[in-house]
Structure 1
Amino acid sequence: MKNVFLVFVLVNIVSNTHAQVVDSIPRKVRAIVADKFPITRVLNLTYEANTGYHYSSKYLGQEMPKTKIEAMNQIGASVNINFLKNRTWTLGTNIGYQHTSITAIHPTMATMEVEKSMHNYHYHYESLNLTRYATLWGKMAIYTASIATNGSEKAIERVNGILSANVVLKATREIQMTVGLLGFIDPSAIIPVIPTFAYKQQFHSGWMLDLIMPKGAYLRKEVLRNGRVSLGSDLNSTLFYLYNFDGSDKVFTFSQMEINSGLTYEHNLGRSFIATIRSGLKTIPRARIFEKNKAQSDYVWEASPDPSVYVNLGLSFNPFAKRRK
């Protein structure tokens, strides 16, 4: 859960499991279960803007002057492609980029005079993912192994591995349920192994409960002709690398965990394009800076930001999305 890539991989693994759930359901109900708004899409473009907020922080245990983030904007793009596939395995890749722009107002340490500064950070991630489909205790099982890299515009800064196993417990027209484990081969992982749980239930009222834990939880309902509204919360993060942070040649990692709560509206534009707008309250339980090869618990800087309002706009391309006639 520590960075953009790991959160993306968690969603990708669980959503791929849901895709295989569809294949385990009789053909006569597949069209009903198939999601017009799948979680994982081939191409995603996003823009997010956050309102200003304050945060208090500590550097090496020492209280720092309170700082105001006047604006924080992010532009992101990701590609998710399976390029080799048969009935028992799939080989694919995830590639993504995120640009973060921050305008901060803070007092200087020497004179305590207020100054404004602007910062731009580039972050990219790549992975090669192998998925194996099998049976376990008479249930469909999905095993995934990934090797991943991420870094900045200067270099690839980290290589890690991710392993997962998911078992489909139920697959009907109304209910799809899976459980599993997700493991990180990475010294900076907060928790090396975490359980995962995905549950989707369609109610007669038209509402749908969609849980992907620990990623998030939503209540969803299709509206208008090709739209869907969702209410809930999900876990996200912002990550980038810092150079010359303490005047040395060390490379540091900035990692910020975020909980986005609010309303989302998606609209199928036809020709496999989906537009998304979401807005609500962003809370940040933790923001830390630590040396890139050390654990997050061995941080040198930690902040406690105030909540802020966010607006996120997105456009995605997915050739498998269904459009209602």
Structure 2
Amino acid sequence: MKTLRNALVPLAILPFKNTIHAQKKDSIPQKVMAFVTDKFPQTRDFNVEFTQLTPYQYSSQLHDADLPDNKVKNFQQVKANANIYFIKNRKWMFSTALQYRFTGMELENPISVFSEERGTKENFHYHSETFSVTHFSKLFNKVAIYSANVSVDGSDKHFERFRGMLTGSIVLKANAKTKMTLGVAVIVDPSAQVPALPIFTYENKFNNGWVADIILPKKVMIRKDIFLNGRISLGTEMDNTSFYIYQSDKTYEYRQLEINSGATYEHHLGGNFIGTFKTGLRMTPNARLFEKQESFKDYIFKAKYDPSFYFNIGISYNPFGKPRK
């Protein structure tokens, strides 16, 4: 049941981070706004990153029939995203998130699932555009944040799928040491595995300088500031890869869940630029291909990939943030 849905959580709560930089008058307590800024450093204003995986084996099935074992000799990915937002007033915010992802892979043996030409090298383009509306209010005398978004995605050939999401979160605790929120996300998408997801975030600062940084079901990390302008994080976070495939006048969607366990180092390069390097072990427990009009459970192809090592390097530019010197 663990799938791409886990990666939707950061999109649902993305606007919270952006409000911090743009909202000058404190309609929300400053300590709450600082908490949200710290929780989502991966959703920056403009970001580009490159990922390389080491070769790995996999087994697969097509229409419940076993296929010969195969090997991914090369897997590369380039991601670029922009988060642009607009403030109407102190209680409302409108924002948009744009994403492009290029995925390139080279297989040891050709497989017709990914291409009618049965080639060993395949390239896929994926993009998504999201528009969000966020409202800040009070519930049980605590800060409550409600968000609704609608998105469209596709390939380099067509726009493909519309999705929607409704979220609500309440700040349970926010002080100098501990911050905690609880919420729920309702997914409006016929292909989703579940109609709703709980959202829980927790941050706790220890006396030794380490910070627990938890966003369920997205990630579990501990982090610490090091050197003059650096930060290291250790733990596990989830991501996904998805793209569309066209065969025999039909449109298919491929999705895989990725669990990355390892280390992340971030460094302020000056001004509003931040460099990032990630490395560790990637596990892909779930990968499926299904017709676009069907759901994830109605798949025609599934694969189980062996673990592999990943290397990721990226740079982000945050013009709406406070420059680091």
TM-score by length of 1: 0.90
Q: CA RMSD in A?
A: 2.6
Q: 1:80 to 1:107 in 2, by over 3 A?
A: closer
Counterpart-to-counterpart distance in 1, 2:70 and 2:174: 50
Deviation at 1:85, TM superposition (A): 3.5
Q: 1:89 to 1:36 in 2, by over 3 A?
A: closer
Matching residue of 2:178: 175
Counterpart-to-counterpart distance in 2, 1:33 and 1:142: 11
Tell whether the 8 Å contact from 2:35 to 2:179 is kept in structure 1 after alignment.
no
Tell whether the 8 Å contact from 1:162 to 1:184 is kept in structure 2 after alignment.
yes
Counterpart-to-counterpart distance in 2, 1:190 and 1:207: 35
- What percent of counterpart residues are identical? 41
Q: Does 1:9 align with 2:1?
A: no
1:141 aligned residue (135, 140, 144): 144
Q: 1:214 to 1:189 in 2, by over 3 A?
A: same
Partner SS, residue 239 of structure 2: strand
Q: Which deviates more from structure 2 when the two are superposed, residues 125-134 or residues 100-109?
A: 100-109
Deviation at 1:168, TM superposition (A): 0.5
Partner SS, residue 75 of structure 1: strand
Deviation at 1:318, TM superposition (A): 1.4
Partner SS, residue 232 of structure 2: strand
Partner SS, residue 181 of structure 1: strand
Deviation at 1:39, TM superposition (A): 3.5
Correspondence 1:156-171 to 2 at 5 A:
156-171=159-174
Q: 1:181 to 1:3 in 2, by over 3 A?
A: closer
2:238 aligned residue (226, 229, 235): 235
Tell whether the 8 Å contact from 2:244 to 2:253 is kept in structure 1 after alignment.
yes
Q: Does 1:42 align with 2:45?
A: yes
Q: 1:116 to 1:142 in 2, by over 3 A?
A: same
Correspondence 1:1-325 to 2 at 5 A:
2=4, 6-10=8-12, 12=14, 15=17, 24-25=28-29, 35=38, 38-106=41-109, 117-244=120-247, 248-322=248-322
Deviation at 1:83, TM superposition (A): 2.0
Deviation at 1:183, TM superposition (A): 1.1
CA offsets 1:36-70 (integer angstroms, 9 cap, x no match): 98342110101000010011000000000111000
Q: 1:26 to 1:243 in 2, by over 3 A?
A: closer
Provide structure 2 residue ranges, at least 5 long, that are not aligned to the other structure: 113-117
Q: 1:224 to 1:268 in 2, by over 3 A?
A: same
CA offsets 1:280-310 (integer angstroms, 9 cap, x no match): 0000011000011111000000001000000
Q: 1:44 to 1:281 in 2, by over 3 A?
A: same
Q: 1:30 to 1:54 in 2, by over 3 A?
A: closer
Tell whether the 8 Å contact from 1:10 to 1:215 is kept in structure 2 after alignment.
no
Counterpart-to-counterpart distance in 1, 2:45 and 2:228: 23
Matching residue of 2:115: none
Q: Which deviates more from structure 2 when the two are superposed, residues 99-108 or residues 289-298?
A: 99-108
How many residue pairs get aligned? The number is 315
Counterpart-to-counterpart distance in 2, 1:150 and 1:281: 29
Tell whether the 8 Å contact from 2:9 to 2:199 is kept in structure 1 after alignment.
no
Provide structure 1 residue ranges, at least 5 long, that are not aligned to the other structure: 110-114
Counterpart-to-counterpart distance in 1, 2:120 and 2:35: 52
